[in-house]
Amino acid sequence: MGDVGEARALAHLLAHGLVLVQRNYRVAAGPRARGGEIDLVMRDRDGTLVFVEVKTRKNAGFGGAAATVSLTKQRSLVLAARCFLRSYATPPACRFDVVAIEGDHVQWLQAAFDAG
């Protein structure tokens, strides 16, 4: 269901004017790092780099898809984003979004959390 959910999320974001930068960015685990993955890296119309976590569930039971983005998962995403940003001499503005898919419903949560 993950690949299908990511494809639906990508189509939703593209329809709202975002541009795909990279899909499934992975950071390799090392002796001092656990690694991590960012489902979608997008660029918004204003140039903001958007790191997107996609969560898919059959229904909204047990708190729904968005509720599964735990603090631990947020930290992992922030660390992966920092690795991604190392390739920029001057990092652009960025934010962390969540696309929660429950059945046929797609919910896009912009600036769902911050790196703070």
Model pLDDT, residue 57: 77
**Residue among 75, 95, 97, 70 at smallest CA distance from 85:** 95
pTM of the model: 0.88
Domain boundaries of the chain, sorted by first residue: 2-113
- Topology of the domain comprising 2-113: Trna Endonuclease; Chain: A, domain 1 (3.40.1350)
Please write the tens of the pLDDT for every residue from 22-59: 999 998 766 555 668 999 999 999 999 999 999 887 76
CA distances from 19 to 10, 31, 40, 90 (A): 9, 34, 10, 20
Residue 70 pLDDT level (bands cut at 50, 70, 90) = confident
